[in-house]
Structure 1
Amino acid sequence: MNTPKLWKNKIQVLFLGILFSLLTLNAVAQQLLLKGTVIADDSKQPIPRATIAVIGAPVGNSTQTNDNGQYQLKINGNYTKIRVSYIGYDSKDIVLTTAPTQTIDVSLVSQDNLLGEVVIKAPKRKYSNKDNPAVALIRKVIEHKDKNRLTGQQYAQYEQYEKISLGLSNLSEKFVNRKVFKNYQFLFETDDSAKTANKYYLPAFIEEKVAQVYYRKDPNKRKEIVLGHQRAQFDPKFVDNNGISAYFNKLYEEVDIYDNNITLLTNQFLSPIANSAPSFYRFYITDTIKTVQPNLVELSFFPRNKSDLLFKGKLYVTLDGNYAVSEAALGVTEDINLNFVRDLNVDLKFDKDANNRFYLTKSSLGIDFAITDNGKGIKGNRTVNFKDYKSGIALPDSIYEGPDKVIAYTEEKKSDPTFWAQKRQTPLLANELKIYHNLDTLQSMPSFRRFMDIAALVLSGYKQFGPVEVGPVNTFYSFNPVEGFRLRLGGRTTESFSKRFYAETYAAYGFKDEKWKYFLSGTYAFNNKSVYSFPQHYIRASFQRDTKIPGQSLEFIQEDNFLLSFKRGENESYIYNDVYRVDYRKEFENHLSINLGFNKTKQSPAGSLTYKTEQEDGSYRYFQELNSTELSVGIRYAPNEEFYQGKLYRTPIFNPYPIFNLSYTAGLKDVMQGEYAYHNFSASAFKRVYLSQFGYADVTLDGTYIAGKDIPFPFLTIHRANQTYAYQLNSYNLMNFLEFVSDHHAAVNIQYYMNGFILNKTPLIKRLKWREVFSFKAIYGGLRKENNPDFNPSLFEFQQNDKAEQTSYTFGSAPYMEASVGLTNIFKILRVDMVRRINYLDHPNAPKWGFRARFKIDF
């Protein structure tokens, strides 16, 4: 036996075993695989673009979380710690184990929660734009905006897929398990993104659209050919589906970061790459990414004032000389003055086309609405995906001709599952797929239909009974000085009765004047749609016998609404009206509408109103009846108009586009007992003007000219007054009824909503999240001598009160003016104005000051 040789072999085997073990351990240390999710500690929401870096490793040994806060990182080297960080949050260091694959979920604490402690214990470093490389970089991005945005291309085309989904969020287990939801458990899902455990989510709405888009810069044109469009539909008996869609699309608008101002939630946010962004934002360079081409700079930004309508987040800017935005992650601070918004985030991704120009490939907007931070809410998300992007390809002019939007699908193929499976650029989530089926199931359940019936009654004021509905309930009871206690009952037919024909009626009785009032109308729709559906096309005949206050003109509310029964000052001037009308209305897809009307009216003065002329002997002749016959035509143009269609009125969803109105009314003498001839020309224009960080202003201009002579004041312009305690936008809130009359006038009305720009910077008060509102109204006109009873004794005298003081006037040398300063967003629903009447204070019972309130819900 060769013992030395045997020991030698054993030693070699042992050495090789130790060496193999060391090499194996080293290999294990070099090839760790880490994965997990990074969330915010307070909101439990995923944090996209958070950085996971290996401590001690060379630059570049790191990764970032995706849109869902998830990450995956391979480590090559014997390292023991990683650091998870995101701007605005405290970084967290994690010790690694030796396991080859490790799942590490991280929760980061927001620095906003520790702001008070930081301010007390550590001095702030003064931020300055001067010699700041981050500001120099953002100015380069601003300088290259026109080059990098879509509108900088001469031609572009792409396929676009949009999806909006919403649902009830943050529902507790106790809420879900209530007895009333016993049959609805299939609707609820566990909400993994909730702040606390055992929370549920109820998917409720989804809408999808696929379109081929063609863009041309000169002459400018964006042509959208809609290839498919579907949404979860509610029963139209209860809900205006088109209106809901328009409203949600307005709340969840498309985001173009290259615009100076980004409109969200009916407000404008200043873009972090707006021309004035360096004056409102703080910018920091927080990372350089060299793992992609071109290399990127991570640019973090924060609002200088946390309460302003500004974003916080990150931009990823290319370092190839184009200074294009490759990615953007936008959010808002907790202190921002937004109503009902619990969370808001925007994620944008760009890619290079064949010409090395960056274009948008995905846009995602998520908003969570709630009354309280921890209460139930509505969570929604809008994603827009783009593919087959091509630029610089000139197409025939025929492609761009015609309307901006063309429907290129049939109703039969609207919900074709094969089409949607092919055209969805990203598949639906599991809870989104269920919405279509769940909504159909819900609407077949009697208990849900009863709930919708009650909800429709509360929101619209109508109760349905098969082919008819009764309402509106807010007019069942009211009172005024002429009629006293007034009861009213009315109703109308529904689509269950007929799609083409609609009837509406009411009857009312005044217990003081002991008179019946009533209304009856019949409408025939030429387009086989509801008479209220866009585009309207109908003819209507009606008769009404009722009271009216001269000079009171209301919008979106009936004159006998109970809340309008409360009035200030003397308000006993009324008219009994008998009105026979025939109206024709035609709307076009471009939101141009034409109205033709013919009416015969008999009016009688009531209450303290008198129609009288002075005779030569000083006595008065009283008129108990006044007859007129009128023919009218009106044109209205509201480009790109958006609205929510209710049971009676359209509620406008204002946008930057103007609204124009032109009308002409001819008084026909000796036609069907018409007693006077005149020609009334009227025009108005409305425009919402957005002022970026300084809010927005609603501006209305209007004017009238009435041609003719010997026209009594009931047929002139009796200017819109208001003697209620509600602030009325289009009336003069400190003007008395029948106070001003003219046959020509011009007026301006400015409502300026500052959105808290001042109050957001005021200590203590900013916690209330009130917002400033200012208004100014002025009207100036006159009355020609032939229509002025002071010069023409054949006309009805102006009104007098019980003290024989004149209470009706025309304008003097100055316009009537009033202004107000107010607060909106009180309890999130109320606007209160202190109104000041500037002149004509010598008129009887002319109020100098007054407080007025109205409900106003903003985001």
Structure 2
Amino acid sequence: MRALKKILKTSLLFFFVVTYVNVFAQQTTRIKGKVIDAKTGEVLPFVNISIMGTKQGTQTDMNGSFYLETTDTKPTLRVAFVGYTPEVRTIEGGKIITLTFKLKVQNTDLQEVVVKGKKDRYRNKDNPAVTLIRKVIEHKAENRKESLDFYQYNKYEKLEFDLSNISEKFRNKRSLRKFDFVFNHLDTSQITGKVNLPMYLKETISDVYYRKSPENKKEVIQGEKMTGLGNYVDNNGIKLYLEALYQDINVYDNNILLLATQFLGPTAPVAPQFYRYVIIDTTEFKGTKCVNLGFSPRNSNDQLFQGTMYVALDSSYAIRKVQMGFSKDINVNFVTDLRVSQEFDFIANEGLMLTKDDLAIEFNLLKKENGMGLFGQRSVSYKDYVINKAIAEKYFEGLKVDTEKNATNRDEAFWEAARHQGLSKKELGIYTMVDSVKKVPAFQRFMNTATFLLEGYKPIGGFEIGPVNTFYSFNPIEGFRLRLGGRTTSNFSDRIAIESYGAYGFRDERFKYFGSATFSLTDHNTYTYPIKHIQVSYQNEIKIPGQELQFVQEDNFLLSFKRGQNNKMTYNKVLNIDYLNESKSGFTLNLNFKNIRQTPTGALQFNSLSKEGNQISTPEIITSEIMLGLRYAPNEQFYQGKNYRIPIINKYPSFQLRYTLGIKGVLGSQYNFQRLVAYTHKRVYLPPIGFTDFTLEGGKTFNALPFALLTIHRANQTYAYQPEAYNLMNFLEFVSDEYAALFVDHHFNGFILNKLPLIKKLKLREVISFKGLMGKLSDKNKPTAENGLMLLPTDENGNPSTFSLESKPYMEMSLGLENIFKVLRLDFIKRLSYLENPNVSSNPTVRFRMRFDF
């Protein structure tokens, strides 16, 4: 009987719990919707949606969409936007509802300053909204937090990435049945209303210190924690790439860095020339009366923001709240939605500081609003503010961003105490879910296949075979060439990396090979920044003189296709010992020893002239050289792959200086010489009209040497556009012992084409470039019978094919279109000088380049 009572009690308790949960679930109303213009059908961004009688509300995104949740049993929605008649609608609670609001234009004078208005001419003159934004611009220096003498705070940053808009069809795919456990972590986004699957989470706790005079800012990372995919990708590389996309945003900055590019901010001094402004209404924010000021691009395709800001109606004209994003027509790839939400509040009555800081971006490869994509959200919270109290000098020592030694190894007790707010159940589940996924054999097979397709390497234990694009290539000397090689991975060793390959040319019937061993001198692997290693290598290979290709394999199959003649090469045997020491400050020291043996092949000959006028053939050139390289690149960032890295270009310059000393007699070396080369690169952002890349390079060789040891300028005879090569110059066409070079590329980011009807829909972007080279071949390096130097190369008829640059500079320029199908760049290049040289064209020529970019 007692047992029966217990069963009955348990059953009743279960019944009440289930009933309560069901009632609660029924009371939750989930509302997805869109707001459009009733006449044109165009979506309306940043429309205010509120639930009457409550403080709940939201705004539409750049696609006119919104999402709301409420427990109101019969909520009444009010949809209002300046220049339109508000609409009020009561809906039934406890359901998932999709709504479309069609707002009608009001017949009032406000039409002239509607943010979205296109029919009536917008003017800055006598526009109260423009007068207000100019007051904001005038006072922004004292409203920035940098106007304070000192400040410090504790910062908690959370960056989450989800697979967004998960459909039932996707969940039921046969290929995902072994991963069905991950769908237990599905969650509905509070921002987009879409069903998302969490994939990545990074948390950071840091202390931030600022001093106005002399100005200095320091961030010390106390803890860092993130999910990872094991050895398949480099977690640090992903972190750096995401940090480049999700930057700190200051609405008072003239240029706002986001998505690794810069956008003209709505408070820049020139912003009224490119933005429209409108006074929407007046409101109160935390006890302060404010004007709700709307802003949007004059041209919806331009790379500008649109949104609203609350401007204090007092003498400060401070921004108290801002919500902004992109126009749906903006010329930015892969981004379907972007939202910045920030709020400012007074701290200790001393100054305005950020109290809310959220950035959410939704990515989709084809930019389909309802397609499956990625949703990333960065949320930052701040506490323990200390304002205008002196900070000791010791807090500013070292790097601007420093990391505590054990920051990445903090235990859970640290995180529970350090987080500003606890993680949700969904967020806590990301760590365990990702760890579980890595153990599924199907996932391992998928990642191995993806690595092979994207990087060209096939992993086998602690070794990778590849890269696949070098397995087959061809050239006039080797004919059909086969190559097979690979490298070790961190599964083999964290501190030692070995790479090797073998190749065979079927025409010259010669084997080529390469082998290297790299020893890390740090506590991390040989590829993780900052690098500190010693590398020893030996290579027996065929080379095109003067070619230094960056980030590509020289025997890449796609580079086999070349224009003109390519029959002058050398067989090189190179012994290389390299010491590299990078620091987080951006300073790099490189010390290198090389012994190089060059043997001419094909149509290239090493001939000199005797005093009797006869040609004397030299079988090879042998040099031993020591190179000291110094490089300074402050705030440099990379996307780090497993065994490679690609620089993420930012606004900071880089400088490089190389001094080379040739030593006669060491390992058969035939020459003493000295060479000095200097290089600098700088990107200058000029939003909204794009950015310009400047590269300057110069060098001088101080001794009399054969042409093969002088500077043979980088030519390009492939059909691919190379940014730092001369794309219409022939191999071995120019040689110098002193030179200066300038490369200029300006990317307009569609600023001109965005204004052309029909064409602007293609989202094309203009680019213009110029490459100039001045050089000289000193008398001491001009071959004569007296100095016995090697004759400059000639063609098969004995006519000169290699020249000096003394008479005039070499120049070429190009006009290009970028972002064709979002990945292709086409350049129409015109050579401007030395058109009388053999085998050159005076007509414009087309080159292409493939690149993914936002």
3-state DSSP of counterpart to 1:182: helix
User: Distance between the aligned counterparts of 1:531 and 1:96, measured in 2?
Assistant: 61
**Map of 1:403 onto structure 2:** 399
1:306 counterpart = 2:300: yes
Report the CA distance shift for 1:779/1:502 in structure 2 as closer, same or farther (over 3 A).
same
* Code of the aligned partner of 1:50: N
Contact 1:39 1:47 survives alignment (8 Å): no
Deviations 1:207-255 (A, max 9, x none): 11011111001111111121211000221x2111111111111111111
For residues 90 and 544 of structure 1, do their structure 2 counterparts lie closer, same or farther at Cα, with a shift above 3 Å needed? farther
Q: What letter is aligned with 1:742?
A: S
SS of residue paired to 1:789 = coil
Query: Residue 228 of structure 1 contacts residue 409 of structure 1 at CA under 8 Å; is this kept in 2?
Result: no
Which among 291, 295, 318 is matched to residue 324 of structure 1? 318
What is the Cα deviation at residue 49 of structure 1? 7.6
Distance (Å, rounded) in 2 between the aligned partners of 1:402 and 1:330: 35
Q: Matched residues in 1 for 2:28 and 2:649: separation?
A: 50
Q: Report 1:192-341 matches (<5 A).
A: 192=188, 200-235=195-230, 237-290=231-284, 292-341=286-335
Deviates more, 1:307-316 or 1:399-408: 399-408
1:392 aligns with 2:388: yes
Displacement of 1:462: 1.2
* Residue 268 of structure 1, CA deviation: 1.6
Deviation larger for 639-648 or 501-510:
639-648
Taking the TM superposition and a 5 Å limit, the aligned residue runs for 1:562-711 are: 562-709=557-704, 711=705
User: Following superposition of structure 1 onto structure 2, how do residues 128-527 of structure 1 map, counting pairs within 5 Å?
Assistant: 128-188=123-183, 190=186, 192=188, 200-235=195-230, 237-290=231-284, 292-372=286-366, 373=368, 374-408=370-404, 410=406, 413-414=409-410, 416-527=411-522
Q: Please point out which of 806, 814, 822 is paired with 1:812.
A: 806
Using a 3 Å threshold, how does the CA distance of structure 1 residues 749 and 196 change in structure 2: closer, same or farther?
A: closer
In structure 1, what is the Cα distance between the partners aligned to 2:46 and 2:172?
33
The amino acid across from 2:303 in the alignment is L
2:67/2:190 contact within 8 Å kept = no
Compute the displacement of 1:125 (Å): 2.6
Distance (whole Å) between structure 2 residues aligned to residue 484 and residue 444 of structure 1? 45
Rounded Cα–Cα distance in structure 2 between residues aligned with 1:284 and 1:791: 80
Rg bigger for which structure?
1
User: How far 1:619 moved relative to its partner?
Assistant: 2.3
**Residue deviations 1:637-682 (CA, integer Å, cap 9, x gap):** 1111100122443211111111111111111112221111110001
In structure 2, distance between residues paired with 1:725 and 1:245:
35
Letter in 2 for 1:846: V
Q: What SS is found at the alignment partner of 1:432?
A: helix
Q: Is the 8 A contact 1:48 1:65 kept in 2?
A: no
Cα pair 1:577 1:602 within 8 Å, conserved:
yes
Q: Could you tell me whether the CA contact under 8 Å between 2:145 and 2:352 is conserved in 1? A: no
For 1:179 and 1:479, the matched residues in 2 are separated by: 42
Distance 2:103 2:608 in 1: 77
Structure 2 residue aligned with 1:65:
57
CA contact (8 A) 2:593 2:626 kept: yes
2:721 paired residue among 708, 722, 727: 727
Task: Give the Cα separation in 2 of the matches to 1:82 and 1:539.
Answer: 67
Which letter maps to 2:445?
A: R
Alpha-carbon distance, 1:280 to partner? 1.1
CA distance change for structure 1 residues 46 and 424 in 2, over 3 Å: closer, same or farther? farther
Q: Give, in whole Å, the separation in 2 of the partners of 1:763 and 1:705.
A: 51
CA–CA distance in structure 1, aligned partners of residues 179 and 30 of structure 2: 34
1:766 is aligned to 2:760: yes
Q: CA deviation at 1:367?
A: 0.8
Aligned to 1:186, the other structure's residue is in SS state helix
For residues 85 and 405 of structure 1, the distance between their equivalents in structure 2, rounded to whole angstroms, comes to 44
Preserved contact between residue 53 and residue 63 of structure 1 (Cα < 8 Å): yes
**TM-score normalised over the length of structure 1:** 0.89
Say if 2:224 and 2:407, in contact at 8 Å, map to a contact too.
Answer: no
Q: What's the counterpart of residue 7 of structure 1?
A: none
Q: Is the 8 A contact 1:654 1:688 kept in 2?
A: yes
Instruction: Note closer, same or farther for the CA distance 1:278–1:291 as it changes in structure 2 (3 Å cut).
Output: closer
Cα offset, 1:628, TM superposition: 0.7
Q: What is the aligned partner in structure 1 of residue 8 from structure 2?
A: none
Q: How far did residue 693 of structure 1 move? A: 0.3
Contact 1:309 / 1:337 at 8 angstroms: preserved in 2? yes
Per-residue deviation at 1:804? 2.0
Supply the distance in 2 between the matched residues of 1:335 and 1:671 (Cα, whole angstroms): 64
> How do residues 109-128 of structure 1 correspond to structure 2 at under 5 angstroms?
109=102, 124-128=119-123
Structure-2-length-normalised TM-score: 0.89
CA distance in 2, matches of 1:447, 1:147: 57
- Give unpaired runs (5+ residues) of structure 2: 1-26, 60-65, 106-113
SS in 1 for 2:447: helix
Relative distance call for 1:550 and 1:412 in structure 2 (3 A) is: closer
The one-letter code matched in structure 1 to 2:830 is R
Percent of matched pairs sharing the same residue = 44
Distance 1:89 1:522, change over 3 A: farther
Render the CA deviation track for 1:168-210: whole Å, top value 9, x for unaligned: 222322122111111212223556459999x742211111101
1:249 aligned counterpart, secondary structure: helix
Q: Is the 8 A contact 2:223 2:408 kept in 1?
A: no
Q: Does 2:846 align with 1:858?
A: no
Alignment of 1:13-92 (within 5 A): 39-41=33-35, 50=48, 52=50, 65-66=57-58, 70=68, 83-86=78-81, 91-92=86-87
* Amino acid in the other structure paired with 1:375: G
Amino acid at match of 2:762: L
The structural deviation recorded for 1:91 is 3.6
**1:614 to partner: Cα distance:** 2.0
- Give distance in 1, aligned partners of 2:391 and 2:334: 46
Give me the whole-angstrom Cα distance separating, in 2, the residues matched to 1:597 and 1:164: 41
- Secondary structure of the residue aligned to 2:125 is coil
Paired residue type of 1:405: V
Q: For the aligned residues, what is the CA RMSD?
A: 3.0
Do structure 1's residue 847 and structure 2's residue 841 form an aligned pair?
Answer: yes
* CA deviation profile, 1:92-142 (whole Å, cap 9, x unmatched): 222699x9x999986445899xxxxxx9xx993322111111111111111
Judged with a 3 Å threshold, the aligned counterparts in structure 2 of structure 1 residues 840 and 412 are, in CA distance, closer, same or farther, namely closer
Q: Could you report, residue by residue, the CA deviation over 1:675-720 in whole angstroms, capped at 9, with x for unpaired residues? A: 11110001100111101101011111010011112x1111100000
Larger displacement relative to structure 2 (553-562 or 273-282): 273-282
Task: Specify the alignment match of 1:555 in structure 2.
Answer: 550
Question: How far is 1:737 from its partner?
Answer: 0.4
CA separation in 1, counterparts of 2:408 and 2:541? Answer: 48
Q: What are the within-5 Å matches in structure 2 for residues 775-790 of structure 1?
A: 775-789=769-783
CA contact (8 A) 1:610 1:799 kept: yes
Equivalence for 1:3: none
Cα shift at 1:812: 2.6
What residue is the counterpart of 1:755 in the other structure?
749
Q: Deviations over 1:74-94 (max 9, x none)?
A: 9xxxxx987421459874222
Corresponding residue for 1:24? none
Measure how far apart 1:419 and its partner are: 2.4
Alignment partners' CA distance in 2, 1:522 and 1:603: 23
Unmatched runs of 5 consecutive residues or more in structure 1: 1-32, 55-60, 75-79, 113-118
Aligned residues of 2:145 and 2:351 also touching (Cα < 8 A): no
* C-alpha separation in 2, matches of 1:439 and 1:106: 36
Is contact 2:696-2:743 (8 Å) kept? Answer: yes
Shift in Å, 1:64: 6.1
CA contact (8 A) 1:370 1:376 kept: yes
